Amino acid sequence: MNMKIKYVSIFFLFFIVGCWNEYDDSNKDCTTDCTNVSGRIVTEDGSVPVGGLNFQLDWMVKGTLGGTYRNIKKFTTDKNGYFNINFHATDQELYFKGGYTIKYLGSDENYVILNDLGTDYPVLGYFFISKRDTSINKILMLPRRSYIKIKYNSNILSVCHVYYKFGELSLPMFYNHAGEIYSIQQSEKIIETAGNQMNYLLISSQINNNDVILNDSIYVPIGDTIVYNIK
């Protein structure tokens, strides 16, 4: 009986591993029934193009017992931030519709590090299709790097979170959690933020045994470090 359980367990583990499939089609060119994805990568709140950086279009679906991942195309923006790629959608991708993502592959020190996103590379945009011969256009924002030095000037119990927008300009966009500072841990901290665009602060404090929430925003020029005082 124990031997049967052992064999069943081995088969079950093999089944889980065997159901995960990865495909690298990044070097394949589409010639028929192509879906076109074009657009532009911009920065500084959408006013400046991002040229010469590397990105990737991929697709993934996950289930309890496995899933499928396909690296569809790697591409580099031109000097004006534009890109234009074609690919052939598989039957499986059309069946599930969603799952397409555009990811930033680089680590240029002039641009923010998009962390806390839970993926292999930062996702700037996503889209859904249900048929081939479809055209998709995306304008995506990748922020430039700046800094905020947050300083506590009192002994209040407080935490400050910093966010900024990135991603698709035609949507509400994503908010990246840039960092936080707890007053009980340190009195000041430098947090990487987005340059030449608004950054958003959520400050939760305890004052006279009352919870006080403050929302604020601050514009930071590229490469600067702006001091923000919490009293």
pLDDT digit string (tens) for 58-96? Answer: 999 988 778 999 999 999 999 999 999 999 999 999 999
- Domain limits, the chain: 20-141, 144-230
Burial class (CB in 10 A: 0-12, 13-18, 19+), 15: exposed
Question: Rounded to 5 degrees, what are φ and ψ at 112?
Answer: -65, 155
Distance CA 13, CA 196 (A): 51
Q: What pLDDT does residue 117 have? A: 63
Q: How many CA atoms lie within 13 A of 111 on its CB side?
A: 24
In one-letter notation, the amino acid at residue 198 is M
Burial class (CB in 10 A: 0-12, 13-18, 19+), 87: buried
In one-letter notation, the amino acid at residue 178 is A
- Would you mind telling me the total number of residues written for the chain in this entry? 231
Residue 2 pLDDT > 60: no
User: What is the pLDDT averaged over residues 22-46?
Assistant: 95
User: Whole-prediction pTM value?
Assistant: 0.84
Question: DSSP letters along 181-192, please?
Answer: EETTT-SEEEEE
In one-letter notation, the amino acid at residue 140 is L
Distance of alpha carbon 8 from the chain centroid: 40
Common-topology check for domains 20-141 and 144-230:
yes
Mean pLDDT of the chain: 90
Q: What is the CATH topology of the domain spanning 144-230?
A: Immunoglobulin-like (2.60.40)
Q: What is the pLDDT of residues 121-165, one digit of tens each?
A: 999 999 999 999 999 999 999 999 999 999 999 889 999 999 999
Given pLDDT bands bounded at 50, 70 and 90, which one contains residue 18?
A: low
In Å, what is the CA distance from 189 to each residue of 42, 143, 212?
A: 29, 21, 21
Question: Rounded to 5 degrees, what are φ and ψ at 207?
Answer: -125, 120
Query: Shortest CA distance to 229 belongs to which of 201, 207, 193, 199?
Result: 201
Q: What pLDDT does residue 8 have? A: 40
Distance CA 32, CA 11 (A): 40
Q: Which residues pair with 128 in a beta bridge?
A: none
Using a pLDDT cut of 70, give the percent of the chain over it. Answer: 90
Distance CA 7, CA 143 (A): 53
CB 101 within 8 A of CB 128: no
Q: Give the dihedral sign, CA 103/108/112/116.
A: positive
Looking at domain 20-141, its CATH architecture is: Sandwich (2.60)
Q: Which residues pair with 94 in a beta bridge?
A: none
